[in-house]
Amino acid sequence: MRQPDIPTPRFVGPVTPLNGTTSNRTTGNGTTGNGTTGNGTSDQGAPETMTTNQPAPEHVRADADLGALTGERRHLLNLAYRLLGSLAEAEDAVQETYVRWYALSREQQDAIASPGAWLTRVASRICLDLLGSARVRRERYVGAWIPEPLPGRTDWLSGRTGAATATDAADPADRVTLDESLSMAFLVALESMTPAQRVALILHDVFRYSFTEIAEVTGRTPAACRELASAARRRLRAAQPPAPPAAHQAGLVKDFKQAWEARDITSLIGLLDPAATFTADGGGLAVTPLHPIEGGERIAQFIVEVATRVTGPLAILERTVNGRPGLMVRSAGTLMAVYAFDIADDRITRIWVVRNPDKLRPWTSA
């Protein structure tokens, strides 16, 4: 069950993709000890007229603090989505993070030197806990589990501003671009990692946190976190070959769409790698193959069979799925599925199809 909204009308609202720049964030370990508030208190006996040495009124300070906390929300959602692979679960994790912040007393909040760092650390720990329980839940999931697809442009899901710390400089080859970290291929590859590996990789290679900061999240040493990230990179490189240029991907997806509309099995086979795989996620709420379909010829035959079974007009629309060319399928105005693709060597190597209606809610207006 999802957490109820925080009863703070000025702050909490529906979580929707935001299109703006990320907030400037301060670094720090977010501990509750020995931090300074920087706010000060007024001296007794001071004149009633405010001077430049006096603090702002309490309501002004509260509004400023609220604005700073609100500015962290996008960053936290960015982080949580990449860690969990689910926008719905990411929203819950961010909500819980703010619940814990507002559960602190005002004195405890003032003692935290960097609220942004505190929020990030708490959100990461919540996600780490959720990843452990998610693995058990997904073992009971009906059919294959695929990360929740995001519609349209994904500029709003950007990473941490700034560079890695001087004491934790990393090889540029170990960096993951923001686009790569949102692709379906990347998110699916993360599913093969342990929760700790996933957290270390995302926090360091995507959001550029130091291993010292990551150690505070995982409860391990910086050296152990470095090894976790290295192991995650090896898994990632083995599972995800370099992607071709976006324009080339779009051309292949367009050709796939046209061949599907024409029910041209021969053309579909030509676009698919002979060892391609087709994986569908219905979550027990929509009819899909329970196991992946392997082989370009079998996939082509299945795709054409799907088109013939649909009653009424079938609309296959080109859409951006997690920042990459993909397809959205409608029948008689009803959303049926979202298709994401992985492409290598001029062939489609993997197709992921999401039909679970719970995962398609962001697409209802796409």
Range scoring the smallest mean pLDDT among 80-84, 123-127, 280-284, 362-366:
362-366
pLDDT-derived band at 15, boundaries 50, 70, 90: very low
> Rounded mean pLDDT of 241-259?
91
pLDDT-derived band at 313, boundaries 50, 70, 90: confident
Could you tell me which residues come within 8 angstroms of residue 224 by beta carbon, excluding any fewer than 6 positions away? 215, 218
pLDDT-derived band at 136, boundaries 50, 70, 90: confident
Answer yes or no: is pLDDT of 17 > 50.
Answer: no
Give the pTM: 0.76
> Rounded mean pLDDT of 290-310?
95
Answer yes or no: is pLDDT of 26 > 80.
Answer: no
- What distance lies between CA 260 and its chain's CA centroid? 30
> Rounded mean pLDDT of 73-101?
95
Specify the pLDDT at position 82: 95
Q: Express each pLDDT in 165-212 by its tens digit.
A: 434 444 444 455 556 788 999 999 999 999 999 999 999 999 999 999
> Is the Cβ–Cβ distance between 97 and 122 less than 8 Å?
yes
Burial of 322 (C-beta count, 10 Å sphere; 0-12/13-18/19+): buried
> Is the Cβ–Cβ distance between 214 and 199 less than 8 Å?
yes
Best CA proximity match to 25, nearest among 138, 147, 114, 154 = 114
Domains of the chain with CATH codes: 58-239 (no CATH), 246-363 (3.10.450.50)
Answer yes or no: is pLDDT of 142 > 60.
Answer: yes
Specify the pLDDT at position 93: 97
Answer yes or no: is pLDDT of 70 > 90.
Answer: no
Q: Express each pLDDT in 254-291 by its tens digit.
A: 999 999 999 999 999 999 999 999 999 999 999 999 99
Specify the pLDDT at position 23: 36
Neighbours of 272 (CB within 10 A): 26
Could you tell me which residues come within 8 angstroms of residue 356 by beta carbon, excluding any fewer than 6 positions away? 281, 282, 283, 285, 286
> Is the Cβ–Cβ distance between 231 and 306 less than 8 Å?
no
Q: Express each pLDDT in 334-357 by its tens digit.
A: 999 999 999 998 999 999 999 999
Specify the pLDDT at position 177: 57
